[in-house]
Structure 1
Amino acid sequence: MALLPLAEALARVLDSVETTSVEHLPLHLCDERVLAEDLSALRTQPPFDSSAMDGYAVRAEDVFVIGEALRVIGAAPAGTVFNGVVSAGECVRIFTGAPVPAGADSILIQENATRVDDATIKATAPVTRGQHIRQAGLDFRQGDIVLRKGRLLDPAALSLAAACNHAVLPVHRKPRVALLSTGDELRAPGDSLQPGQIIASNAYGVAAIARQAGAEVIDLGIVRDDMPALNAAIAMALRRCDVLITLGGASVGDHDLVRTALAECGVAMNFWKIAMRPGKPTMYGRNDKGVHVLGLPGNPVASFVGAHLFLVPLIAGMTGQEPRARLETAILAAELRENDQRQDYLRATLHEENGRLVAKPFPVQDSSMLSTLAVANCLIVRPPFAPAAIAGDTCRVLRLRN
């Protein structure tokens, strides 16, 4: 079977993506959710001309000459309105955020005013018309679209939505991602190991990647290499999730039964075996209910890389976001051999040096090694048939963390 180019494999995964349903949640529950509809302002901000500073509301023409005395006719703390009118030679004590009184056209900041007595001040610096006044609608006006659908609701977006007077927001439901680890050799962390057994670690990293991408995760534990057990576990999983991730059992060994079990459970496989390293046995399909199934290899680094390359864009598409390439340019810190037909993802450390990003690959790239994965903060991406490279050449990197 010919190996499928990675770009084509990803295109097939994203080609059939449908967004999850919309739910309306209180603002305080919308952190890191994705906006499902354009959001319009329900009010104007600021709703009136307001003072940007503590000081005195004045007429600019009265402060044209330094030292002119102004009579203080009242005060306007934030949250109140001064109902009078500022006339020639008058001013109003004002505080940040308060409405500018009628008749005033600028703010004399308190640092530029000298108090003569309880009812009189003198200006020590001139002002210009409109100085230190926030005009009504400076930030946004009622009816303005302030956030577009597909926006990740980060702290700034949530603050803006609140300022627009939205207490509830329409967001995409989090996709439900189920994880199913397979293999007779696997045991849960904390268990005692018999000869030939290992700890199942992949689910924890993949689950964290899924959650960070915006999914709800269901860990279904470990199922043994037994066809009836696999069929039962997969059938149950397909009823509970939007995306099923199988971990292990995707290769060609006598005990790699997952692909057959998926087919028996009604999953039509779209591809199996990709021209990538690590992660060649990765597979993908869907059932007639539209559940996505991503089969990741058992090697820990291969499952980690596959989750970043396929699961993260899939979750983005399901939540209405644009799956974007996240590649950056860096400088190689070591030489690399020429590449074969498979696209390589090499664990590396990334740091800044003289204003440039520098990527240093680990000398050993065995896909079972989690110790180097934990240190790596990027993957160097080597396209198929890339020629040999030397230190100082440019390369492309996928950042894993800062």
Structure 2
Amino acid sequence: MVTVNEAKQRIIANTLTLPAVRIPVAEAVGSYLSEDVISPIALPPFRQSSMDGYAILHSDVTGSGTSLRLAGESKAGQAELPVVGAGMAVRIFTGAPVPEGATAVVMQENTTSADGSVQIREFPVVEGKNIRREGQQIARGAVALRAGTLISPGAVGFLKGMNVNEVAVHSKPRVGLLVTGDELLKAGEALEPGKIYESNSAMLQAALAQAGIIEVSISYASDDLDATITALGALLEEYDVVLASGGISVGDYDFVGTALEALGAETIFYKVRQKPGKPLLFGRMGEKLIFALPGNPASSLVCYYEYVLPALRKIMGSEEPFLRSVRLPLRHAYRFDGERDEFLKARVEGDEVVSLDGQESFVIGSFAVANAIIYLPVEQNRVEAGELVEVHLLPL
């Protein structure tokens, strides 16, 4: 049995990053850059107004009510512009280029226009006011996004605004998921005595989709050694990462560990000193990763967030693969006994964290409203209200 930290270290040490591919920016959401992106242009590419108003020479305004002569306009997309000289003002709109000579833009709410002139009610007018400088967002040739950055919708907008239409990202892993258990019913089947509806596959597939991994295959195997060997073997031939749900404990009908051994997989560790999720197995077959997850849904999801997701992120090129960790005060006191670290389903509310009801490994309902996991090592098994605890923030 390994500790939580030992398990995480072994997983990262045995996980390789997939090669890079070039793909359209619009298809890159959820991927990690494999190289820096250099801006081919400045943003904005010209001096740009941030307001509707009037472009002027700021030094012309000597007091509230200064009158300036109107000398044309500048609208978004306009190429030919008037030049602003002393005593002149040019009508300008948000996003439009600032004419040569202008040193400030006065917003229209602070002006009155009539008979070919405009009165400026603002005083003093500061040089550069309401003007976006050329390259204010990013200069041409500067690093726009660094390797290892996760491509978000905001990143897509940023890149497209620079006319960057393709990026180099690490490939996403193909994931095969095996569900075991003769007690499991599929959706739509009639509920029978001794049976339960299978939910782990949909839960894990949703978690994978949230991580940007869409290529997921789901297989099922009965509680039989030969069937388990056949199903796992097929997945290991085709997929980069194989997840097995259930069948990894020590019961008479738990065959996943034996099946992996029969297939020649290397076990990196089996069992972690934690609650829930003790019977977690991590292994390899060549460069392919194997995670055998506990069948209880809360245990399975804890192990996914704490161990599987970091491995997937590293495969995709993330330089910070683990859940973001913060320290927050616990709202209510918490006690536990035993020799295993504990993970608690939790909610961050304001500047504190609340451990939720329903911490048992079979209870998934509390995960439905959780936005965090509290990690309590055995050395911190007596926590008082207001005491700081380690909190792992779940992906949004």
| Fold shared, TM-score > 0.5 on shorter chain | yes
> How far is 1:274 from its partner?
1.2
Deviations along 1:83-134, whole A, 9 cap, x unmatched?
Answer: 44333333322222222222332223333333241x3333333423333222
Deviates more, 1:73-82 or 1:315-324: 73-82
1:252 alignment counterpart:
250
Q: Percent identity, please.
A: 36
Correspondence list, 1:230-309, <5 A: 230-288=228-286, 290-309=287-306
1:384 alignment counterpart:
378
> How far is 1:190 from its partner?
1.9
Paired residue secondary structure (1:312): helix
Matched, 1:49 2:44: no
Q: 1:379 and 1:98, CA in 2 relative to 1: closer, same or farther beyond 3 A? A: closer
1:103 alignment counterpart:
101
1:39 alignment counterpart:
37
Deviations along 1:161-193, whole A, 9 cap, x unmatched?
Answer: 111111222222221121101122222122234
Instruction: Output the amino acid matched with 1:311.
Output: V
The answer to whether the Cα contact below 8 Å between 1:76 and 1:94 also exists between their aligned partners in 2 is yes
Q: 1:100 and 1:293, CA in 2 relative to 1: closer, same or farther beyond 3 A? A: same
Instruction: Output the amino acid matched with 2:118.
Output: I
**The one of 360, 367, 389 aligned to 1:395:** 389
> How far is 1:335 from its partner?
4.0
Unmatched segments (≥5 aa) in structure 2: none
2:364 alignment counterpart:
370
The answer to whether the Cα contact below 8 Å between 2:323 and 2:394 also exists between their aligned partners in 1 is no
Instruction: Output the amino acid matched with 1:216.
Output: I
Correspondence list, 1:156-235, <5 A: 156-235=154-233
> How far is 1:361 from its partner?
4.3
- Supply the distance in 2 between the matched residues of 1:207 and 1:213 (Cα, whole angstroms): 10
Deviations along 1:179-214, whole A, 9 cap, x unmatched?
Answer: 101122222122234443332222222222222123
1:327 alignment counterpart:
325
- Supply the distance in 2 between the matched residues of 1:390 and 1:87 (Cα, whole angstroms): 70
The answer to whether the Cα contact below 8 Å between 1:332 and 1:392 also exists between their aligned partners in 2 is yes
2:10 alignment counterpart:
12
Instruction: Output the amino acid matched with 1:297.
Output: P
- Supply the distance in 1 between the matched residues of 2:107 and 2:387 (Cα, whole angstroms): 56
1:141 alignment counterpart:
139
Q: 1:102 and 1:234, CA in 2 relative to 1: closer, same or farther beyond 3 A? A: same
Paired residue secondary structure (1:96): coil
1:360 alignment counterpart:
355
Instruction: Output the amino acid matched with 2:290.
Output: V
The answer to whether the Cα contact below 8 Å between 1:81 and 1:98 also exists between their aligned partners in 2 is no
The answer to whether the Cα contact below 8 Å between 2:306 and 2:322 also exists between their aligned partners in 1 is no
1:112 alignment counterpart:
110
The answer to whether the Cα contact below 8 Å between 1:341 and 1:385 also exists between their aligned partners in 2 is no
> How far is 1:263 from its partner?
1.8
- Supply the distance in 2 between the matched residues of 1:373 and 1:60 (Cα, whole angstroms): 58
Q: 1:212 and 1:68, CA in 2 relative to 1: closer, same or farther beyond 3 A? A: closer
> How far is 1:306 from its partner?
0.9
Query: What is the RMSD of the two structures over their aligned residues, measured on CA atoms?
Result: 2.4
Q: 1:108 and 1:17, CA in 2 relative to 1: closer, same or farther beyond 3 A? A: same
1:29 alignment counterpart:
27
Q: 1:311 and 1:69, CA in 2 relative to 1: closer, same or farther beyond 3 A? A: same
2:119 alignment counterpart:
122
The answer to whether the Cα contact below 8 Å between 1:81 and 1:101 also exists between their aligned partners in 2 is no
The answer to whether the Cα contact below 8 Å between 1:56 and 1:91 also exists between their aligned partners in 2 is yes
Paired residue secondary structure (1:108): strand
> How far is 1:248 from its partner?
1.1
Corresponding pairs, count: 394
> How far is 1:350 from its partner?
4.4
The answer to whether the Cα contact below 8 Å between 1:22 and 1:172 also exists between their aligned partners in 2 is yes
> How far is 1:341 from its partner?
2.1
Q: 1:230 and 1:103, CA in 2 relative to 1: closer, same or farther beyond 3 A? A: same
Paired residue secondary structure (2:259): helix
- Supply the distance in 2 between the matched residues of 1:234 and 1:275 (Cα, whole angstroms): 26
- Supply the distance in 1 between the matched residues of 2:258 and 2:237 (Cα, whole angstroms): 18
The answer to whether the Cα contact below 8 Å between 1:55 and 1:95 also exists between their aligned partners in 2 is yes
Q: 1:224 and 1:105, CA in 2 relative to 1: closer, same or farther beyond 3 A? A: same
> How far is 1:348 from its partner?
4.0
> How far is 1:349 from its partner?
4.6
Instruction: Output the amino acid matched with 1:230.
Output: T
Paired residue secondary structure (2:329): strand
> How far is 1:376 from its partner?
4.2
Instruction: Output the amino acid matched with 2:165.
Output: A
Deviations along 1:203-227, whole A, 9 cap, x unmatched?
Answer: 2222222221232342323201222
- Supply the distance in 2 between the matched residues of 1:255 and 1:380 (Cα, whole angstroms): 32
Q: 1:246 and 1:55, CA in 2 relative to 1: closer, same or farther beyond 3 A? A: same
Q: 1:59 and 1:215, CA in 2 relative to 1: closer, same or farther beyond 3 A? A: same
